[in-house]
Every structure is written in structure tokens, then in C-alpha cells.
Structure 1
Amino acid sequence: MRPAALRALPFVWGALGTTVLFVGVYLFFVRSYIGQVIDERSFAGANVWKGDLIEFAQSFLNALPVAAVVIGAVVALIIVLLRRNWLVLAIAAGAAVAANVSTQVLKYSVLSRPAKGVDTGLANSLPSGHTAVAASAALVVFLVTAPRYRPLAAVLGSLFTVAAGASTLVEQWHRPSDVIAGMLVVAFWGCIAGVVLASLRLRPADPPVRSKLWALVWIAAACGIVAAVALVVTYNSTQNGTEHLFIAYAGGVSAIATTGFALAVVGNRLYRRLA
């Protein structure tokens, strides 16, 4: 196998993995009754327990589209002017555009939400467009950043994306599964960008990035445990007639955080050898 193909192979596996996860999220949380109930409990819990977070969520989401595009573009351009990696910027921008376009196509033209008798105020809203905007802006900055600073870009980008996704839940625009699906769409196109970049004759990162973001790994693991426990409790509550809306809400937010941080860790690892 040629060296370029070997460099691209991890990104191919990443694209396949994000596709499988996306399909799994859609089939369980949208196409199944129990998945819809669990997702809806978290959605309802956010409405009950949002408290003062609603003001932050409203302000954040109102500014998000312009802020993500403008700030992301300015930061990326500054980095590119310093590094002169215009080709990387073009590929990153292409991935961001593809992520946002495919998000809208999937939501409005491909995917549907069957009626399962679950009371909901939303039609199909998967994947989340606002989450995709935030995540794709973070992706562009991550890709054009110098390798030694990519771990920092991954951390900041994941925090920004998780905040955006959680805000859409608090604001009652999206369910947790919508947010997770939006992140996975952007991650898929980030892997496609990696395939393209790995196939080109660009100089490798020297030395490769060594940071594995262990702090983020442990945070993602802790959030994952909370999400898993909340999922079990919420599932059991559907069987015995209780609700536990706060637990469902906390589980939804934890699942969003787990996904965002885990994708940041994996992305940082995949791109460790690319300049």
C-alpha cells in the first residue's frame, strides 16, 4: 500500500465510524418508540429545569451564526497568513460548507420522524444546524492551526461546540440526539478533509503531536458515565410510569458533552502527523 494511502486510512475508518454512529443515533432516537420517549424526556426536562440558563442560551444562539462565521474566518485567515497554508484553508472551508449543506439536506429532504405516539412539539429536527455551524467553524480553525497548537484548538473548539449544542436544548430548539447528530456530520466531513490532506504531498508534522488530551478524555469518560446512568434511569422510568425529568435532562447534556469532547480527542489523534 502506498504511503499516501496508509496516511489516509485512519481518516477513512473515522468517516466510516462516524457514519455508523450517526445511523445508530437516528435509528434509535428517531425511528424507535423508546428512543423518542427518552429524547423527549430530556427535552421536557430542559424546559422545566432551564432556570437562568435560558438568558445565556438566547444570547448565545442569537449571536452564534454570525459570531461563528466571522470569528472563525478571522482567526483562520490570521493563522493562514502566518503559516501560508492556503490549500489547507480551502479544503477546511470545503469541509465546513459540505457539513452545513448536508446537515440541511439530511434534516429536510432525507430523514423523517415517524409518529410513535410520543407528545412532541417538534417535527424532525435531526441533525442540529446551529450545532453544525459551531462545530464546522471550530473544525476550520483546528485544521489550519499549526500542529503544536492543535490540541488547544481542539479543546477550545469542543467547548464552543458543546456550549452551542447544549444551548439549543435549553432554548427548546433541539433534542440531545439532534445535537449529537450535528457533531457527527461535521466529524464525518473532518475525516473526509483528512483523507484529502493525507493524499496530498504536504510535509508531515515534525515532530508529530504528542498530546493525547488526557484531561479531556477523563472529562468525556465522566460525562459518558453520567449519560449512561441517566439513560438507564430514564428507560426504567418509562416502564414504571415515572418521569425523572431532571435526570433525563442531565443525561442529555452529559451525552452532548461526551460526544463533543470525545470527537475532539479523536480528531486531535487522527491529525497528529499532518502539518
Structure 2
Amino acid sequence: MLNNRVIPTLLLQNGGLVKTRKFKNPKYVGDPVNAIRIFNEKEVDELIVLDIQASKQGREPDFALINEIAGECFMPLCYGGGVRTLDAAARIFDCGVEKICLQSAAMENPALITQIANRFGSQAVVLSVDIKRDWLRRTRLYNARTGANESRGWTEFMRIGVEAGAGEVMLNAVDNDGELGGYDIDSIRQACGLVEVPLIAAGGAGKLEDFKAAIEAGASAVSAGALFVFHGPHRAVLITYPRYEDLEKIVGAKK
């Protein structure tokens, strides 16, 4: 087993699998169930699936699709998108999902974090913290539903979410998303110094060495999207995952 989890993040839009760049211009890359079957064969540690349209459209999660995805997934699964109530969360857990990722709902109703954590455990709640630089290069909290920076500080939102019961944080750098140029290491280091729960670094991984840099900055796990769905300078679609031996050289393995 690897010392740190290496997690593919899949984005859903209208039932299909897409990949964005800086949270924009989603490109269709295939069927999510087929991608999950490939990741099953690769013996992936964990999987994150995010519906990027549900909260924007104000609709509930696609429970039928979630049930299909969970039924095909042989590894621990985290789902996010459109979860606004405890009942919705319960239906998702009933599908076989292990974790729920909250962002928009956590911004508007932090009590939902507490409700889910009290019923299903803190380990079942992942707080998604999206960050984006403003025109002065200051790091701001980004609201994926509205597509705009928030006035409140991202570290304050993260702290409130963890205090409310989130057992894990996913820190995603919008400016790095899909660019394959590396993580926002400074923000990862800052976040890890402020909260004690595990942190998943997301946004920007382009090579295995980027995983090592994020882990050295304090991340407990690393996530990637474009790195696992594109190949070559022309971004040809190729769903893949590194060999265990190659990951072991980067993050190490437990004896």
C-alpha cells in the first residue's frame, strides 16, 4: 500500500465524463462507467466523482447514475455535486458511496456538514475548497456555483468547515486546473499548517514529481484529472493510471 493516496478525479456533465481547464471549457472525454472499469483494472486507491453542473443548475444529484457508478467501482468512492440535504446524502451513501464532497452547500449551510458527520461520521465528509487568484494575485475563495470569488477568506471557510465536522479537505487551485503545470504548493503548505485533518491536493498535476512536491508540502493525498485522461501535447484522450512501482518511487509504500 502506498504511503499517500493518488486519486483520479472525474468530472461529470450531462451524464458524460469531461475535463476542464481553469474550471472552463469542458471537453468530453468519454463514458464515466468505462473510465471506472479501467481504473478498477489499474487498482486505483480511491476515486472522486464530481458533477460540475448539479449545483449550478440547482438540481439534485443524478441518483441513478451514482448508483450505476458505485456499482461498477471497486475502490472507495467520493461523490460531490448537488448535495444540499441530509436525505440526499443518505440516498448517496445507500448507493455504496463512502464519502460526500461538499462545496456550494457548505458555503450556504455549514450545518449540513455537521448533520452528515453526526449521522455517518466525519470521515464521510470532504470539504471542497476552491481557490483562485484575483487581479492582484491574492488567493481568494472561489464559488464554483456562481463562477466568482467570494469576499470571505478561503482559510476561514476551511476552518469553519473543519470545525463543523468535515474529516478531510480537498484544496483545488482553479488557475492550475487542467494546465498540467503543477500544484499551488504555497497554498497547500499554508492550508496544512492551519488544519489537522487530511488534505487532498488538487489542480495542476502534470507529472509524478508534482505528487511528491505536494506531499512534501503537507498533503496527505494527491488528486489529478488531466494527467489521467489526456496523453501527449495534443491532449489525446487516454484513460490511464501510473504503475504501482512508479508511484512507489515517488510517494513510498508502507511495509
TM-score (norm 2): 0.24
* Structure number having the greater strand percentage: 2
TM-score (norm 1): 0.23
Structure number with bigger Rg: 1
